[in-house]
Amino acid sequence: MQLKSINSLKSQEMKAKTSYDFPKYKITGTSDFWFGGIFGVKNAGKSNAVLNILSIEADVMLSGANKCYYFSPTKDSKLELFEEQHGKHFEIINELNLETFRRVVDEIQAKNKEWKEVMALVELLKKPKLTREEQALLEGSTLLDTVDFKTFNFDHPNIHTMIFDDSMHSPMISSQFHKQGKEFIKFCIRHRHEYTNLFILSQHIRAISKPIRTNMNAIIIFPFRDGTIYQNVFQEYSTLFDNDISNFLTVMREIERRDNHSFLFIYYDKVRFVRIGFGEGVEMD
């Protein structure tokens, strides 16, 4: 292939009308919202991995007005202790259905709306001169009376996190053609616009509908007995392994050899990388 320049035109990233100064995550080094899939056999360490992510990123995910909603029909001792430690920032919901999902989405959207309304009033306070309508809006609102300006985050809306564990029985996750599945996919596609991180934990990768999988930017894979699962994952992220499945299998064999709950961590967004665990980078030969 030969390349030659024919003009000076370049594609540039367009500015957004509103951009917020979101914090960077320690693990990825970016401020991009997570949409993660964590996959492994029973007792592989899936819930332990996602709780580690929450702990490492606690200053973002579990602080201020930010909150994590953990959907799980099973509540083991790890989850109970985590809930005790993080109180108002961590809520366990024992069933995923349309009612519980909508309740959480409504709560997140209400908080986002309130934050924007507060910021709109704050901007009015900054203006040297107000119109009659603006003056009436300020005087008629009691919203600012409820705000603790010492702790209020002026940089960005609240950041929320939703985690779905042991929920593959729900058509919301497993069926893209089901009415509930379509509603869930719609939220997954918009999760960044709702300032929400998403994580789905499952023993079965292919049980998650493809529109959901293709929108994920983070994949954690624990060792599987079924080698065909590796082939499926490789096909979706082959470019990170130089399009050579032997590179992928070499990494998985190393993880299996360690036998210490290590996992393959693939991140594919503006930044792209392959790691073993959170901190050990993998480069292809």
Q: Is there a domain that residue 235 lies in?
A: yes
Strand 35-39 to 218-221 pairing:
parallel
Average pLDDT, the chain: 90
Q: Is there a domain that residue 30 lies in?
A: no
Q: Is there a domain that residue 14 lies in?
A: no
Q: Is there a domain that residue 6 lies in?
A: no
> Could you give the CA distance from residue 154 to residue 156 in angstroms, rounded to a whole number?
6
Task: Tell me the residue range of the domain where 258 lies.
Answer: 35-278
pTM of the model: 0.90
What is the mean predicted confidence (pLDDT) over 101-107? 97
pLDDT confidence bin for 16, thresholds 50/70/90: low
Q: Is there a domain that residue 192 lies in?
A: yes
Q: How many domains does the chain have?
A: 1
- The two tokens of residue 161 are 């996190």
Q: Is there a domain that residue 8 lies in?
A: no
pLDDT confidence bin for 285, thresholds 50/70/90: confident
Q: Is there a domain that residue 15 lies in?
A: no
> Could you give the CA distance from residue 27 to residue 72 in angstroms, rounded to a whole number?
24
pLDDT attached to residue 193 = 94
Domain with residue 155: its CATH number is 3.40.50.300
pLDDT attached to residue 17 = 62
Higher pLDDT, residue 167 or 128: 128
86 pLDDT more than 90: yes
pLDDT attached to residue 40 = 92
Strand 90-93 to 160-165 pairing:
unpaired
What is the mean predicted confidence (pLDDT) over 165-193? 85
What is the mean predicted confidence (pLDDT) over 221-242? 89
What is the mean predicted confidence (pLDDT) over 92-104? 93
> Could you give the CA distance from residue 198 to residue 211 in angstroms, rounded to a whole number?
14
167 pLDDT more than 80: no
CB 218 within 8 A of CB 265: yes
pLDDT attached to residue 148 = 83
Instruction: Please enumerate in sequence order all residues whose Cβ is within 8 A of that of 88, keeping only pairs 6 or more positions apart, or say none.
Output: 67
Q: Is there a domain that residue 149 lies in?
A: yes
